[in-house]
Chain A
Amino acid sequence: MSEPNKVQAHWAETQRLTYIMLGIWAFFSFFIHMFAPALNGIKILGFPLGFYMAAQGSLIVFVAQLFWFSGAQDKVDRKYGMAEDD
């Protein structure tokens, strides 16, 4: 792949990864909590599920997502020779 193509492909894949991340973020920040009243009918260890998702569930997703993202973006950088040590 020529250098300009690599630059373009790297940015396209970076964008794609970012949009996936923002999709997950939007789902666990907003979408799922719109159903909190219904989810509260389900109980796990005493936690109503709607409450649990806002108090812990979404947070756990955010943390896991960011560790995954930092690994995945690094892979993208390396794939196109765009990482810092390339």
Chain B
Amino acid sequence: MKIKKNNKYIYLGIGIVIILAIISFAIQKKEKVIDYNTMTDEEVQIAIQEKIDNINKKNLSELGERDRMEYYVSTFIDAIENKQYEKAYDMLYIDFKNNYFPTLSSFEEYASTKFPKISSLEHTNIERNGDIYVLWVTLSDPLAGKNAQVEMNFVVQENDLNDFVMSFSVK
């Protein structure tokens, strides 16, 4: 059977469309279905945390570097506010910890007394030096009046999205 030359191109075009359709369905993103019923409590916690981390990473990837740095600082402050001192301690740079807070209890003692109980953050300035960011932050407790304001510097190094180390000016 002879196929007209024009028709040949049309069949070729249809063929290409079919191939593209197959590829597009093959690489279609599939939400990983997790069956929580078969998991232990610990595994569920890990799976949920992983999910939260992925959402955080995706959200962070859409932010500019200034917003990301401010987010990291507020994460640290939130942890202190919620008395999750170990979580906050883990965010600190190792040499900074060695210099000022060699133990978790020394950090806990400092954080519980020097940081406001409820913090409102005002980011006044940010500077970048290579891969190090310096932030000027005013922390204030809205319930304690103007005198409760604390001006601090935070120094942040971002290794990857939501993967960072930091330090702050110790008063």
A binds B: no
